[in-house]
Amino acid sequence: MKTFIALFTLLIFALVGLGIGSVFYVYKQWQKPSPLAEPLLLEIPKGYGASQIGKLLQKNGVIESSRSFKWWCSLHSGKVNFKTGWYQIPTGQSIEQIVSLLSSGKTASVKITIPEGKATWEIAGLFSHSPLKLDSARLDSLMHSQPFTESLGVKAKDLEGYLLPDTYAFPYGADEQSTIKILVHANLNLRDEMQAKNSPIWKELGDWHMVLTMASVVEKEAAVSQELVHIAGVFINRFRIGMPLGADPTVRFIFRNMTGPIYKSQLASSNPYNTRRFVGLMPGPIANPGRAAIEATLFPVQTDNLFFVAKDDGSREHFFSKTLSDHNAYKNTAAKNRGE
C-alpha cells in the first residue's frame, strides 16, 4: 500500500511537472521573437480566423508554431480583432505584437507621386508601372466612364482634370476603382476649400469644372512655378475679351500627343478642344492640374498682358507682352536664342 501511494504521488508530481513544463514551453513560444530574417509583406484574406492565420504565418516563416498562435488568441480573445488587408510584418516580433499589428488595421501602403499636368492616360500608365501594378486599360476605361464618373459626385463625362496630383500612400493591394476614388476625393476636398475663398474668377468661369479646365491650360503652359499666376492672368484676360486662348497643349490633347511636334493639319482641327481656332474654354480639362495651378487660376496676377512666348534661353521662362507687335519682337528674340 505504501508503495502504491508513493508511486501515485510520484505520478502526480510528474504530471504537474509536465503541465508546468508545457505551460512554460508555450509561454516561451509566445515571447519568442519571430524567426523572420527580413520584413515580410503578407495578405490576410477576408474571413480568416486565428487558426487559418496561424497556419499562414507558420507557412511564411513568421512564427514557428501555429498551435501556439491559436492558443494565445484563445486566451487573449479581447486583444484579437483581425482585419483584412496587406501588412508589412517586421522582424523580431512576438506573437502578441503580431496579433496587435494584424488587429490594428494599419495595412501596408505604397507611396506614389502623381506629377502635375499629366493626362488621365498618362496617370493610368504610371499606376501600371508602380508597385500596385494596376491594369492601365481598366484604369483608362474607368476614368472615361460617365456612370463611374457621376457615381463619384463629378458632373462630367469623364475624370480628366479630377485626379489631383500629389504624393499619396495607397493601401497595398488597392484596385483600380479604389485608387481612382482616392484621387477624386482629394480633388473634391480641394474644391470645397477653394470655394470657401470666394474667388471672383470662379463666378466668371462658371463652376469647378471650368475652373479645372482653365487651370489645366495654365498648368500645361507654365514651365516654372513662379509664372503660373502671370500665365493665368494672360488667359483670364483673353477669356474676358473673347480672344482665343491659342494654347498648343489643347491641340496636343486632341491627338493624345503631349510632347511631339504639332502639324498644320492638327492646328486646323475642328475639334472643340482646339483653342487655336475657337474662342472660349474647351469642353473640359486637358490634363490634371495641381493645387498651385488651380490657385493661380482663381487668384491670377493683375496684368494687361495678352501674349507670352518661351524665351528659349534655357531658363524655361517666358516673355510677356501687351501688344502683338511686342509679342512678335519677343518671338524674334526667342528665335535668336535658339540660334536661328
| CB-CB contact of 150 with 90 (8 Å) | no
| Contacts of residue 51, Cβ cutoff 8 Å, sequence gap at least 6 | 66, 70
Query: How would you classify the pairing of strands 40-44 and 318-321?
Result: unpaired
| CB-CB contact of 87 with 41 (8 Å) | yes
| Contacts of residue 329, Cβ cutoff 8 Å, sequence gap at least 6 | 321
Query: How would you classify the pairing of strands 318-321 and 307-310?
Result: antiparallel
pLDDT at 258: 79
| CB-CB contact of 82 with 44 (8 Å) | yes
Pick the closest to residue 310 from 294, 293, 298, 327 (CA basis): 327
Residue range 207-257, pLDDT digits in tens: 999 999 999 999 999 999 999 999 999 999 999 999 999 999 999 999 988
3 state DSSP class of 109: strand
pLDDT at 283: 96
User: Residue 321's beta-bridge partner residues?
Assistant: 307
Interatomic CA distance for residues 51 and 60, integer angstroms: 14
Pick the closest to residue 233 from 212, 209, 214 (CA basis): 214
pLDDT at 279: 94
3 state DSSP class of 256: coil
pTM of the model: 0.82
Torsion sign over Cα 138, 144, 147, 152: positive
| Contacts of residue 218, Cβ cutoff 8 Å, sequence gap at least 6 | 228, 231, 232, 235, 289, 293, 296, 297
Interatomic CA distance for residues 132 and 297, integer angstroms: 33
pLDDT per position in the chain (340 positions), as tens? 556 565 555 555 544 444 444 444 555 555 677 788 899 999 999 999 999 999 999 999 999 989 999 999 999 989 999 999 999 999 999 999 999 999 999 999 999 999 999 999 999 999 999 999 999 999 999 999 999 999 999 999 999 999 999 999 999 989 999 999 999 999 999 999 999 999 999 999 999 999 999 999 999 999 999 999 999 999 999 999 999 999 999 999 999 887 878 888 999 999 999 999 999 999 999 999 999 999 999 999 999 999 999 999 999 999 999 999 999 999 999 999 988 8
pLDDT at 246: 94
Q: Look-up: residue for cell 470662379?
A: 202
